[in-house]
Structure 1
Amino acid sequence: MAEALEGVPAPRRNADAVLSGTLEASRSAWPGDPVALLLVEDDPGDALLVEELLADSGISAALSWARSLADARRVLAEQGVPGCILLDLHLPDAHGLDAVTQLLAAAPGAAVVVLTGLAEEASGLAAVAAGAQDYLVKGQLEPQLFGRAVRYAAQRKQVEQAAAALQVERVRAQENSRLERGLLPVPLLRGDGFEVVSRYRPGRAQALLGGDFYDVVETADGTVHAVVGDVSGHGPAEAALGVCLRVAWRSFVLAGSSGSTLMELLEQILVAERDGEQLFATLTSLSFTPDRRRVRVVRAGHPGMLQRVGGDVEWVEPPGGPALGLLPGLAHWPQEELPLPPGAGLALFTDGLFEGHTGRGRERLGERGLLALARKAAGLASDLFVDTLISDAEAAAAGHGGLADDVALVHLGWKQTDS
């Protein structure tokens, strides 16, 4: 331990000199042994005893010494959290359980072993109940017992942290599952005359859920409405905003909204619910007319779509307006009506499908590359077409770790009848 010794009596100066620096002990017998220890003890004699016990225990570790809780905080700030902290319960600035709770708050990642007197075993048990990993009685210390206590305390802390991390991951997975159900609902169709094939694929490094969403509903007049959207960014806030927009879209559509009015309402929802002005959303909303001959399209900053007719695929990108949230209250989104050939299918997707990098450089697959992949799979049935398109896009980006962003892909179309 490096600290100023001026004004400290000679015995304490000697103790500091002995304890400073890294101890050159024999190689640790356990791979999981702590590499650093912190002793929080105001008595130089007890400090020397701990150093000797450590040297004879077979644990190779650097030992630092703090005489008070304030000194301990300084050492933690300078050197980081050690694998194990040895804590005396009688310090100049903290006593008993108060010392334990303050130290645990200052170093929550460290294992704590409490040092007690012969008549204080109850205090040691209380310290363990308060969060310490173990306690040792000063008058009963010997190297083997000391080494075992330090090793077990460090390993118990590691197990405790691993269990806590696992619980956090479980909660996160459950929350992601709930958000996914909100982002990716079951289509609301009144009959079996319309086909919906949908897929969602998380990006390669997305521990956090993205804001990609889709929905399909059929209104009482027989019109089938569909939407695919993407909230910028990743994380629970973005995913929750995606859920909010998807639910709002379904509600507005069922209430009769369409075209630019629908986009204006959704933008109002986005602006009211987003965490910051930097968040925006792109989406494409479709309405398949009951006569099965036309489809109305409204685009808000979203990519185009793929139209499949027979064995051919074309890129379709009708005029549209800006992404929701970029120009609140100022934008307009035109509604375009396109002819829908018999047996035609439309594939809507988020930009993660074609933004993956390919080849030796950093080129994106892009719209042209995606269209080329789609044309190779044009003759497949709808479900195979969708799966093949995603797998081929992933294969194209395999050299760069796969698709970096989330992908939502929905294939839509009227089922052909025999008549």
Structure 2
Amino acid sequence: MGGASGAASGRLRAALLAAAAVSLPSTAAQLVHVQRIDGSTAEGRVTRIADAVELQTDAGPLRLGWDEMMAMRPASLAPTPAPAPGALTVELADGSIITGRIVDRPDGAALEFFGGAVRLDSRQLSEIRTTGASASASARLAELRAEAEGAQDVLVAARGAESVVLRGVVKQIDAERITFTWNDKDTAVPWSRVAGVRFARPTVRGASGAVVLHGGDVLAGRASSEDGQRVVLRSGLLGEVVLEWSQIERIEWRSERLVYLSTLRPARYEHTPLFDRPWPYRFDRTISGGPIRIGGRAYERGVVMHSRSSLVFALDGGFDSFVATTGVVDEVRERGVVTLRVIGDGRTLWEAAGVRGGQPPREAVVRIRGVHELILEVDYDDDLDIGDHAAFAAARLIRADAP
């Protein structure tokens, strides 16, 4: 399977523009909310996005450096479209996440979305997952996602109400099935039985940011805007993509000063269940495998744990602060009451007690200069441990200067 061609990138640009013109209202949503990596915010109208972000605020012009930025959201958001029946979600090695359907073409299988198509190259794929998988199969895929990358591809398939895990090599992908080689035997598995497949050691391509679209698609690359009216995303895998503000949920920046905790390997995980059922921790997903939401807002990154748990990270002492948006995840509704703590080198640096499901999120901004062991803790509070699924959303470490 080969990479995306220049012609495919051109078709993608045209398709995205057509989708903006036909599927969504064309509005110049220039008023934006900006969040810096230190948790502070600003609001204004975008005049330019280049090496810096330039806003016109009520107090006058504001210029924000690239390494200060974390995210930007249009002040008014369009409705989120529902995924098409039978859609697949493809995660690329640069962090792009695209939902669509697989089609067969003369030059190989492709993912068709927004009326365009991008060829599927196994060297540039991290994961493919389906939307109609059983709960057990989806949960097993989430567990595999938290494991270290292996030398083999991993396929999770449904077998009745249960799931089966195959380890081997993806031989072929087409619109109807995935052909998987395991135990020296080729097995064709229809997509209706597939929960997902994780690819071993893709060729990772770093990106300096990403644009998140309504519906959850993520296009990794560097965003810019010369006039504040449209956003141009330049992507190593997708080429140049032109987007209307009405398509965009948020723009994210990736600074060398910022490290998300979910990209690090914990030194250890300690869990004391109240009863006999143990609970794992999850990165970038809820414990059940769903998206992280607190107070109605979605977070692409984060750490989710069940009481009573402690997740320990070994640091180099060179970070200035830890920042996260905390709370009980929305999927447990109003259940769950926890105490949350951030502990550095044995000292409690931040604590929030009586954190309940359904409450607005709480911001944790914690000074950790010189800290070598950082612990995130979810403890019991009232009501035993019922629904105690808590998140440190967008949990991140910040240096004073880029390394």
Q: TM-score normalised by the shorter chain: which range applies?
A: under 0.3
The TM-score with structure 1 as length reference comes to 0.20
User: Which structure has the highest helix share of the two?
Assistant: 1
User: Which structure has the highest strand share of the two?
Assistant: 2
Name which one, 1 or 2, has greater alpha-carbon Rg. Answer: 1
The TM-score with structure 2 as length reference comes to 0.21
The structure whose RCO (Cα within 8 Å, separation 6+) is larger is: 2
